Amino acid sequence: MSSLLYRLGRYAVRRRIAMLLAWLAVLAAVGGMAGLLGRSFDDAFTLPGTESQAALDSLSRTFPEVSGSAARIIVVAPDGESVRGPAVRDAVEDGVERIDDLDLVKSVASPYDKNIDGAIADDDSAAIVSVQLEGAAATIPEHIREALRHEADAIAAAVPGSTTSIGGEVFSENIPKLTITEAIGVVIALIVLFFTLGSLRAAGMPLLTALLGVGITMALIFAATGLGTVSSTTPMLALMLGLAVGIDYALFILARHRDQLSSGMSVEESIARSVATAGSAVVFAGITVMIALIGLAVAQIPFLTVMGVAAAVGVAIAVAVALTLLPALVGFAGEALRPKPRKPRRNKAPRAERIPLGTRWVRLVTKIPVITVVIVIAGLGVMSIPAKDLRLALPSDGAGAPGAPARVTYDLISDHFGPGHNGPLIVSTTIVTSDDPLGVMDGIADELRELPGVAEIPLATPNQNAEVGIVQVIPETAPDSDETKDLVLRIRALKDHFEEEYGVTIAVTGYTAVAIDVSDRLGNALLPFGVLVVGLSLVLLTIVFRSIAVPIKATVGYLLSVGASFGATAAVFHWGWLSGPLNVHQTGPVISFLPIILMGILFGLAMDYEVFLVSRIREDYVHGGDARAAIGTGFSASAKVVTAAAVIMFAVFAAFVPEGEGAIKAIAFGLAVGVFVDAFLVRMTLVPAVLALLGNAAWWLPRWLERRLPTFDVEGEGLAHQLALADWPAPGDDHLVYAEGVRVGGESVSVAVRPGDVLIMDGPDETGRRALLLTLAGRMRLTEGLVKVAGLVLPSQAGELRSRTAVVAGDWDAEAIDEAVRSRASLIFVDGEGTAAGRDRLAEQVDALRELGRALVWSAPDRDRIEPVVGGPYNFLTLGRVNELADVHHG
C-alpha cells in the first residue's frame, strides 16, 4: 500500500496541472448529470417484506381511492361560531368543488358528507377536508401544491375570522437547506487549520479539497434522485460527513508534509512520502468508515441503505481527493509551504525549554493510570444513563419547526380533534369470499371500537368490487407514541380471531403502521449491526497493531463513546435539557435510524483517532522497546494533529445543530458529542492510561496468530525499508537477485543472481528449497533478512514483484515452460524436475534466456540430474549446510 501511494503522490505532484483539470472536469460532469437527471427528494419510507408495506402495496391496486398521497385542510371557525353554520359550510363546500377540479386530484372528502364520520370536531369548532392525489408526494408538482394553498386561503378569506391551514404528506417534505450557521463550522475549521499548520495558504488547502469533494458528492446524490428514491436526509448527512472527513484527511497528510519540509526534505520527496505514510492511515480510516456505512444495509431498509451508500461514496471521494488533488495543490505551492526557521533570540538569556501541552497531558493521565481509567469509565457510564429512555420513531409533522405549515396543521388537528387524527391506521380486509361484505365490515369496525386506545372509527367500507375493505382507525394518542404502537399490536393480535369469526384476513397499514414497522426493524437490526461493527474493529485493529489488548481496549472505548452519545441525545431530545439553547422545538422520540447511523459513523471516526494516535505509539515502541516511554513520545508527536482533527470534526457537526431540521439536528448533535467524547476522553485520556497499565503486555500477540494475519502497513514502515535499500547493495547495481541473511531452516542464506545467470538450488531440504524459491519470487512472505529482486525490495513490494516473475512448479511440462518464457518475466523460477518433455524444452530456451539478460532459478533435489539441461555455466546453492554467497560452478 505505502509503495503504491508513494508512486501516486509523486505522480500527482509531477502531473499537477493535469490532476487539477481532471478533478474540475469530474465536478463539471457530475454537475451536468445532476441538472439533467435530478428530481425531488422522497421521504416516503417503504419497508419491503412487512405486513404494513405489503398491505399498502395491495391497496394501491385494489383500492386506488386510498392510494397515492394525501393533503389535509383544517378549517377553524371564527371564535364562538360553528363550522356547521351556513357561512363556513358554503365556503368549505365551494372550496371542495374547486379542489375537485384540480389536476392530479383523485377525490376530495367533504367533512359534511353523510358517509364520513369524525371530520368535524366534537365541539363543531373545526372541520377537516381530505384530498387524495395521484402519485407519491415527491412527484406532485409545485404548481399543484400552490393551487391547494390558494384554495385553503380562499376558504379562510370567504369567512372573516376563520382560520385554515394545509398539511399532510404532500406538504411534509423537508427540502435540505443550508444556513449561515453551518458556515460557522467551516470558519472554525479554517482557524484551527491555521494554528495547526502555521500558514494561511496551507490552511486553505484542506478546505478547498473538502469542498470540491462535497460538491461532487452532492451532485451525484442529486443525480441519483432521478434513478431511485432518495430521502431528504441523505444529502445533508453526506454533506456533514464529507466536510468533516475531507478536512481531516487532508490535514493529516499536510501536517506530515510540513513536518518533513521543516527537516529539510525536498518538496517532491516530502509530498510522496506524506501520501505514502499519512495517506496509508487515511486509506485505512476511510475504508473503516465506508464499511460501517455500507453495513447499514444490515437493517434491510431501502432508504437507510441508500443513505449509507451515499455517505460512503462521499467518504471515498474525500479519500481520493486527499490522495491526488491535495498533492497537486501542494506541488503548486512548492517551497512556499516550508516552515521558516526561527530566528535566534538576541541579547536575551536562553529561555527554559517549554514542555508541550500534549506532553504535560499524557504525563498527567499516566501518572496514576488506574485513577484515570476509573474516572473516565465512571464518567462515561453516568453520561450513558439517559440512553435507557431513548425512544425511536419516524418523524412526524409534529417535530417540524414552529410556524411551518405542516406543523401548524398538525397542532391544530391535535388541539381540535385529538393527536390520533394525525396518524390514522388503516385495517385492510380481504372479503372476496364473504357472502355479506357489508356485515363483515360493520362487525370488524364494531369490535375495533371496543379496543383500548381507539378514539373512533370514521370509515368502514368495501371497495367497488367488494373484494377488499378498509377500516380507518383513529387512535387516542399521537402517531409516534408507545400507546399507538401498542394499539397496532393489539389489532394484529386479532388476526386469528377475525379469520375464525368472519373468514377474512386483516392487515394493519397506513403511514403510522409503516413507521412503527420501520422502527421495530431498526431496533432489531441494532444487535447484529453492533456485532458486525465490534467484530470488524477487533479484526482490523489486530491486523494493524499486531496486538490482542489494543483492539479490545479500542473496542471498549468505542462502546463507551456510543453510550455517552446516546445518553446525551436522550437527555436533550427526550428529557429536554438544553433544548432552548440548542433550538430543539419539541421533545419526544428521535428518528428511528439515529442509533444505527451514530454507531456506524462513530465507529469509523473512532478508528481514525485510534489509528493516528496509537500507531505512532506503537512505532516508537517497536523502535525503542520501552512501552512506557513510547506512550509519551508517540502521544506528544501525534496529539496536536489529532486534537486539531477532532476540533474540526466537532465544529462541523455542531454547526448543523442550531438550525438543523428533524433528523439532521439529532444526528448532528449525537455525532458532535460522540466525536468530542471519543477523541478527548477515550483516545487521548483513557487509551494512554490503559497502555500505561498494561506496559509491554499491550503489544503481545501469539506467534501462531502473527503468522496468519495479513499485513497493513499504516505507518509506512515498508516504504521506509524500501527507500533505505534504494542503493543497496551498491548504487547502480545490476543484480536481479541479491539476498543476505535469509533464514531457511536453521541456515542463514545469501544469494546473488545477475542478468543471464542460472542458479541451481539443490540439497536434501526440499521444504527449505521451495520456501526460499517462493520467497524470492514474491509468493511467500519474507520474515528475516534483506532481499532485493528485480530492483524491488521484499516484503513491501512483493505484490509488484509477482507481476515481474514467473513460477513453474509441480509436474511441469513444455507448455508451462513456453508460458513462462512468453510472460517476458525477467526471472523464471522452476521448482522440481518436471517431465522429460518439459526439461527438453527448458534446455532449448536456456541460451536464449541468457542472451536476453533474463535469469533462471531452479530448485531440484539432485543437481547432477539437471546439469545437462542447463548446458553452460551456472551458480549453485546446496541447502543443508551454511553457505556464503553462492560460488560460480561451471557445469
φ and ψ at residue 356, rounded to 5 degrees: -60, 155
What pLDDT is recorded for position 660?
61
In the DSSP assignment, the letter for residue 686 is I
C-alpha cell at 848: 536464449
- How far apart CA 794 and CA 725 sit, in angstroms, is 10
Superfamily of domain 425-509 in CATH is Multidrug efflux transporter AcrB pore domain like (3.30.70.1320)
User: 65-171 domain in CATH 3.30.70.1320?
Assistant: yes
Q: What is the pLDDT of residues 210-225, one digit of tens each?
A: 999 999 999 999 888 8
Higher pLDDT, 326 or 433: 326
In sequence order, which ranges of 334-467 are alpha helices (DSSP H)? 357-367, 369-384, 405-417, 437-449
Q: Which pLDDT does position 886 carry in this prediction?
A: 41
Greatest distance between any 2 Cα atoms in the chain: 119
CATH class of 725-890: alpha beta
- List every span in the chain annotated with CATH 1.20.1640.10: 2-40+180-338, 364-390+521-699
- pLDDT tens string 127-167: 999 888 887 776 788 889 899 999 999 999 998 889 999 98
CA-based nearest residue to 806, from 793, 817, 791: 817
Residues 598 and 719: beta-carbon distance below 8 Å? no
Give the distance from CA 317 to its chain's centroid: 12
Span 792-831, pLDDT tens digits: 888 878 888 888 899 998 888 999 999 999 888 889 999 9
The pLDDT of 272-276, averaged and rounded, is: 85
- Cell digits of residue 32: 451536468
Q: How far is CA 43 from CA 8, 234, 640, in A?
A: 41, 10, 42
What pTM was computed for the model? 0.77
Contact 561, 384 (CB under 8 A): no
Q: Which CATH architecture has domain 2-40+180-338?
A: Up-down Bundle (1.20)
Query: And the C-alpha cell for 608?
Result: 481514525
Is 467 in a helix, a strand, or coil? coil
**DSSP state, 78?**
P
Q: What pLDDT score does 662 carry?
A: 62
Exposure pattern of 90-108 as b/e (b: 16+ CB <10 Å)?
Answer: ebbeebbeebeebebbbeb
Contacts of 250 (CB under 8 A, 6+ apart): 205, 206, 209, 210, 321, 322, 326
**Positions of CATH 3.40.50.300 in the chain:** 725-890
Q: How far apart, in whole angstroms, are the C-alpha atoms of residue 765 and residue 175?
A: 72
Of the listed ranges 106-110, 296-300, 424-428, 821-825, the least confidently predicted one is 296-300
**Taking residues 362-373, what's their average pLDDT?**
91
> What whole-number distance in Å separates Cα of residue 53 and Cα of residue 514?
6
pLDDT at 889 over 50: no
| CB of 41 closer than 8 Å to CB of 234 | yes
Q: pLDDT of 699-744, one tens digit each?
A: 888 888 877 777 766 666 677 777 778 888 888 888 899 998 888 7
What class is the 364-390+521-699 domain?
Answer: mainly alpha
Is the pLDDT at 456 greater than 90, yes or no?
A: no
pLDDT at 502 over 80: yes
Sorting pLDDT into bands at 50, 70 and 90, what band is 891? very low
Residue-level pLDDT at 561: 93
Average pLDDT, stretch 85-95? 91
Compute the distance between CA of residue 276 and CA of residue 5 in angstroms, rounded to an integer. 5
Higher pLDDT, 884 or 119: 119
The SS3 call for residue 472 is strand
CB 257 within 8 A of CB 279: no
Q: What confidence tens digit (pLDDT) does each residue in 19-63 have?
A: 999 999 999 999 998 888 877 777 666 667 777 878 877 877 777
CA–CA dist 489, 478 (Å, integer): 15
The distance in angstroms from the start CA to the end CA of the chain is: 43
Q: Is residue 884 scored above 70 in pLDDT?
A: no
How far is Cα 126 from Cα 452, in angstroms, rounded to an integer? 26
Cα distances from 540 to residues 276, 277, 283, in angstroms, run 19, 18, 13
Residues of the chain with CATH 3.30.70.1320: 65-171, 425-509
3-class SS of residue 735? coil
- Tell me the C-alpha to C-alpha distance, in Å, between residue 405 and each of 127, 140, 165, 172, 549: 17, 17, 7, 9, 55
Q: Is 72 helix (H, G, I), strand (E, B) or coil?
A: strand
